[in-house]
Structure 1
Amino acid sequence: MSSPKEIEIKLQLPSANFARLHAIPLIRRAGKSKQSEIQNSIYFDTKGLKLNRSGLTLRIRHAGGRYIQTIKSDQGSPFERGEWEAEVRDNRPDLKHAAAPVLEPLGIKKLRKRLRPVFETRVQHTTYPIRRKNCDIALTIDRGEIDAGVGALPLCEAELELKRGDKARLFEVARAFAHAASAELAVKSKSQRGYELLAGEDAGAARGEAIEIAPDMPAKDAFRAIAFACLKQIIANKPAIVASERDGIHQMRIGLRRLRAAISLFPDIAADPTERKIKAELKWLTGELGPAREFDVFLNRVVAPLERSHARLTGMQGLSHDLADRREATIARALAAVCSKRFRELTLDVARWLETGGWWEPPSKPARERWEEPIETVARAQLKRRRKKIRKRGRILEKLDPHARHKLRIEAKKMRYATEFYKTVFTGKKQEKRRAAFLSALKDMQDCFGDLNDIAVHEQLATGIAEASAARSSRPSRRVFAAGLLTGLEEARLKPALAAARQAFCAFEKLRPYWRQT
Structure 2
Amino acid sequence: MTKEAAQPSEVELKYAIDDLAKVQESVGGDQVAGLRAGDWRELQLEDIYFDTRDGRLQMAGWTARIRANGESVLLTLKSTSPNESNNGLHTRFEMEGPATNILNPGTWPESDAKTKLDELTAGEPLRERFRIKQVRCERDLSSRTGRAVLSIDEVTYHKGNRVLGNGHVLEVELRRGKPDLLEPVAAALMSAGGLRPELRSKESTAAALLEKGAKPPKKKPRLVAGKAPGITQHDSLAEAGRKVLRFHLAKMLAKEEGTRLGQDIEALHAVRVATRRMRAAWRVFDGAFRRGRERRYVAELRRVARALGAVRDLDVLLEGAALYVESLPQDEKVAIAPLFDDWRAKREAARAGLVALLDSPWYQKFVDDYISFTTTEEAGTRSVCAVEPQTVRDTAGSRIVAAYERVRAYDRVMPWADIETLHALRIEGKRLRYTLEFFKEALPPQAADLIGWVTELQDELGMMHDADVAADLSRAFLLERAARLSPASTHSVAVFLRSRQRERDRRRGTARRVWRRIVGPTFRRTLGRVLGGI
Q: TM-score surpassing 0.5?
A: yes
Contact residue 208 and residue 233 of structure 1 kept, 8 A: no
Contact residue 310 and residue 350 of structure 2 kept, 8 A: yes
| 1:339 maps to 2:359 | yes
Q: CA deviation at 1:444?
A: 0.5
| 1:509 maps to 2:519 | yes
| 2:437 equivalent in structure 1 | 420
Q: CA deviation at 1:315?
A: 2.8
Q: CA deviation at 1:401?
A: 3.1
| 2:222 equivalent in structure 1 | 186
| 1:286 equivalent in structure 2 | 305
CA offsets per residue over residues 360-414 of structure 1, 9 Å max, x none? 242x63xx654x6220221111111111111111442343333322221111112
| 1:385 maps to 2:402 | yes
| 1:275 equivalent in structure 2 | 294
| 2:94 equivalent in structure 1 | none
Contact residue 241 and residue 248 of structure 1 kept, 8 A: yes
SS at match of 1:360: coil
SS at match of 1:373: coil
| 2:282 equivalent in structure 1 | 263
| 1:309 equivalent in structure 2 | 328
Whichever residue aligns with residue 359 of structure 1, its letter is G
| 1:213 equivalent in structure 2 | 231
RMSD: 2.9
CA offsets per residue over residues 84-136 of structure 1, 9 Å max, x none? xxxxxxxxxxxxxxxxxxxxxxxxxxxxxxxxxxxxxxxxxxxxxxxxxxxxx
| 2:427 equivalent in structure 1 | 410
| 2:381 equivalent in structure 1 | 360
Structure 1 residues 384-393 or 264-273, which shifts more? Answer: 264-273
Structure 1 residues 329-338 or 387-396, which shifts more? Answer: 329-338
In 1, Cα distance between equivalents of 2:300 and 2:342: 31
Q: CA deviation at 1:324?
A: 2.5
Question: In the TM superposition, what are the counterparts of 1:419-498 in structure 2 within 5 Å?
Answer: 419-426=436-443, 431-432=444-445, 434-470=446-482, 473=484, 475=485, 477-498=487-508
Q: CA deviation at 1:281?
A: 1.6
Gaps of 5+ in 1: 1-150, 159-184, 189-206
Contact residue 322 and residue 469 of structure 1 kept, 8 A: no
| 2:151 equivalent in structure 1 | none
Q: CA deviation at 1:508?
A: 2.3
Q: CA deviation at 1:357?
A: 7.9
SS at match of 2:330: coil
Seen in structure 2, the aligned counterparts of structure 1 residues 266 and 305 have a Cα distance that, compared at 3 Å, is: same
How many residue pairs were aligned? 313
In 2, Cα distance between equivalents of 1:351 and 1:441: 33
TM-score by length of 2: 0.54
Given the alignment, which residue of 322, 327, 343 partners 2:347?
327
Q: CA deviation at 1:445?
A: 0.8
Counting aligned pairs with the same residue, the percent is 21
| 1:230 equivalent in structure 2 | 248
Q: CA deviation at 1:467?
A: 4.3
Seen in structure 2, the aligned counterparts of structure 1 residues 271 and 152 have a Cα distance that, compared at 3 Å, is: same
Q: CA deviation at 1:304?
A: 3.7
Contact residue 400 and residue 435 of structure 2 kept, 8 A: yes
SS at match of 2:288: helix
Q: CA deviation at 1:253?
A: 0.7
Whichever residue aligns with residue 531 of structure 2, its letter is R
Q: CA deviation at 1:509?
A: 2.3
Contact residue 295 and residue 327 of structure 1 kept, 8 A: yes
Contact residue 323 and residue 465 of structure 1 kept, 8 A: no
In 1, Cα distance between equivalents of 2:399 and 2:506: 32
Structure 1 residues 345-354 or 250-259, which shifts more? Answer: 345-354
Whichever residue aligns with residue 491 of structure 1, its letter is Q
SS at match of 2:331: coil
Contact residue 290 and residue 382 of structure 2 kept, 8 A: no
In 1, Cα distance between equivalents of 2:406 and 2:479: 39
CA offsets per residue over residues 40-73 of structure 1, 9 Å max, x none? xxxxxxxxxxxxxxxxxxxxxxxxxxxxxxxxxx
In 2, Cα distance between equivalents of 1:257 and 1:340: 21
Computing the radius of gyration from Cα coordinates, the structure with the larger value is 2
Q: CA deviation at 1:337?
A: 2.4
| 1:246 equivalent in structure 2 | 265
In 2, Cα distance between equivalents of 1:339 and 1:329: 16
In 1, Cα distance between equivalents of 2:453 and 2:223: 33
SS at match of 2:531: coil
In 2, Cα distance between equivalents of 1:264 and 1:412: 14
Seen in structure 2, the aligned counterparts of structure 1 residues 494 and 282 have a Cα distance that, compared at 3 Å, is: same
Contact residue 280 and residue 434 of structure 2 kept, 8 A: yes
In 2, Cα distance between equivalents of 1:361 and 1:494: 45
In 1, Cα distance between equivalents of 2:481 and 2:227: 43
Question: In the TM superposition, what are the counterparts of 1:112-127 in structure 2 within 5 Å?
Answer: none
Q: CA deviation at 1:515?
A: 2.1
Whichever residue aligns with residue 517 of structure 1, its letter is G
Whichever residue aligns with residue 186 of structure 1, its letter is R
